[in-house]
Structure 1
Amino acid sequence: MTIVAVELEDKVLRDLEEASETVNLPSGQMISRIVKNYLHIEKMNKIRRELKGTAEAAGFFSEEDIYREIS
């Protein structure tokens, strides 16, 4: 595991500390969880962008269209 130093605005640090206390996680673990979640969301958004043309060609223009089809 690698240690990374980050610079946070005071308010962001206070919010992080408050959130960490709420879920009973050390700040470092909270930051790791936040980064993992962010990277996962970005990966999913990239996949959506890549598949958009294929989906539209098949008649799917929204997530609702997909849900309707599989329901």
Structure 2
Amino acid sequence: MSTITLRIDDKLDAQLKRLSKRTGRPKSDLIREALRRQLALTQFEKLRQTVAPFAEAKGWLTDEDVFRELS
């Protein structure tokens, strides 16, 4: 496992400490989870941009269009 040093402002640190205390989870766990979510979101957005032209060609312009087709 790698170690990363991260500098955050006092306000963000206070929010992180409160969440850690409320959930009983270490700050490092919360940061790892947030990073995983952000990386997944970034990958999802990239994939969405890749497939968007194909979806539009089929007339799928919104998420509802896709759901309707798949339901």
- TM > 0.5: yes
Instruction: Find the counterpart in structure 2 of residue 54 from structure 1.
Output: 54
Instruction: Find the counterpart in structure 2 of residue 2 from structure 1.
Output: 2
TM-score scaled to structure 1, two decimals?
0.93
Displacement over 6 Å in runs of 4+: none
- Gap regions ≥5 residues in structure 1: none
Instruction: Find the counterpart in structure 1 of residue 64 from structure 2.
Output: 64
Secondary structure of 2:25's match?
Answer: coil
Instruction: Find the counterpart in structure 1 of residue 23 from structure 2.
Output: 23
Instruction: Tell me whether 4-13 or 16-25 shows the greater mean CA deviation.
Output: 16-25
What is the rounded CA distance, in whole Å, between the counterparts of 1:24 and 1:49 in structure 2?
38
* Amino-acid identity (%): 27
TM-score scaled to structure 2, two decimals?
0.93
What is the rounded CA distance, in whole Å, between the counterparts of 2:69 and 2:23 in structure 1?
38
Instruction: Find the counterpart in structure 1 of residue 11 from structure 2.
Output: 11
What is the rounded CA distance, in whole Å, between the counterparts of 2:14 and 2:51 in structure 1?
39
Instruction: Tell me whether 4-13 or 22-31 shows the greater mean CA deviation.
Output: 22-31
Instruction: Tell me whether 52-61 or 18-27 shows the greater mean CA deviation.
Output: 18-27
Q: Number of aligned residue pairs: give it.
A: 71
